[in-house]
Amino acid sequence: MVNDSYKINIISENNFIIRDLKETLKSFFKTEINIIPFCTESISNSNKNIHIISLIDNRKIEDLSSFRESCLVFITDNIKTQELIIKAGFDFVSTPFKIESLITKVNFLKKKIVNFSHPILIGEYHYFTSSSEIYCKDRDLKIKLTQMENNFLKFLANENKSLKKDEILLKVWGYQKKLQTHVLETLVYRIRCKIEKNPKNPKILIFKDNKYFLKKN
C-alpha cells in the first residue's frame, strides 16, 4: 500500500540503470515510484517529489541549475559530469554504486520534504532545513542554500558533535577519494561566505582538531 505523500521519479537516458532500479526502490520506500522522460517541465521547482536522474547530455544539467528547490540526486560515473552537478548545487552517486548509498541520499531528500515548524538556531540565524533557508531577523537577511549546502549543514546540526572530513563525506555523500578534499573544502568556503561575518575567522562553521562542527545556540 502506498502511503507516503511524496513520489519518487526516475529520469534516465540509460535503460540499463532504470531497468531494475524501480523494483529495488519499491522494497525500501512505500511510495509511488515512476519512470518518466526528461524535460524541465517534469521537474518542478519545489521539494514535493524526489527525482533520481541519469543523463548523458551534460547540457541538461545546466538547464536544471535554476531548480534549487527541487529534490534531485544524479547517477553518473563521469568526473566532468560530477563537477557540473556540484557546480549546479546538486548531489550524486558515482557508478557503480551500492544501493545503500542511493537510499541514504533519498532519505536525506525525504527529510527536506517534511515541513519542519521549528528552525535550528545557529549563531544569530534561524535555519529552516525544509526550505534550505537561513534567516537573520536583526539584519533583515535571508540566505538561500543549495541542496548540497543544506544537506551538509543539516547533517552537522543533527549529529550535534564534531566530525572528521572522511566521516562527513562517507555518511552524507560517499564521494570518490579524488573528489573528497575539493568537494568538501569548496562547499565549506561557500557556506562560510554566506553565514560568517568574516569567513577567514569563522564563528559558526568551525574546523578544529581536524573536525568540523556547527556552533548552535
| Tens-place pLDDT, residues 5-19 | 688 999 887 665 677
Whether 145 has a pLDDT exceeding 80, the answer reads: yes
The domain made up of 120-214 has a fold known as Arc Repressor Mutant, subunit A (1.10.10)
Question: Which of 2-6, 66-70, 99-103 holds the top average pLDDT?
Answer: 99-103
Q: Among 124, 181, 184, 123, which Cα is nearest to 151's?
A: 184
Whole-number percent of the chain with pLDDT over 90: 26
Give CA–CA dist 125/176, Å, rounded. 33
pLDDT, residue 200, reads 92
How far out from the chain centre does Cα 200 lie? 25
pLDDT, residue 159, reads 85
Strand 141-144 relative to strand 91-94, pairing: unpaired
The yes/no answer on whether domain 7-113 falls in CATH 3.30.930.10 is no
| Tens-place pLDDT, residues 158-217 | 888 898 888 888 777 765 555 567 778 899 999 999 999 999 999 999 999 989 999 886
pLDDT, residue 2, reads 42
102 three-class SS: helix
Whether 1 has a pLDDT exceeding 50, the answer reads: no
Whether 156 has a pLDDT exceeding 80, the answer reads: yes
- Mean model confidence pLDDT for the chain: 82
Residue 47's pLDDT band, with cuts at 50, 70 and 90, is low
Q: For the chain, which residues make up each domain, given as ranges?
A: 7-113, 120-214
pLDDT, residue 207, reads 93
- CA pseudo-torsion sign 105, 187, 171, 135: negative
Give CA–CA dist 206/3, Å, rounded. 40
Mean pLDDT for 93-122 is 80
Whether 81 has a pLDDT exceeding 70, the answer reads: yes
pLDDT, residue 211, reads 92
Helix (H) or strand (E) holding 111: helix 99-113
Instruction: Name every residue whose Cβ is closer than 8 Å to that of residue 72 and which is 6 or more positions away in sequence.
Output: 43, 51, 53, 64, 90, 91, 147
Mean pLDDT for 37-41 is 74
Whether 79 has a pLDDT exceeding 80, the answer reads: yes
How far out from the chain centre does Cα 34 lie? 21
Mean pLDDT for 146-157 is 88
Instruction: Name every residue whose Cβ is closer than 8 Å to that of residue 200 and which is 6 or more positions away in sequence.
Output: none
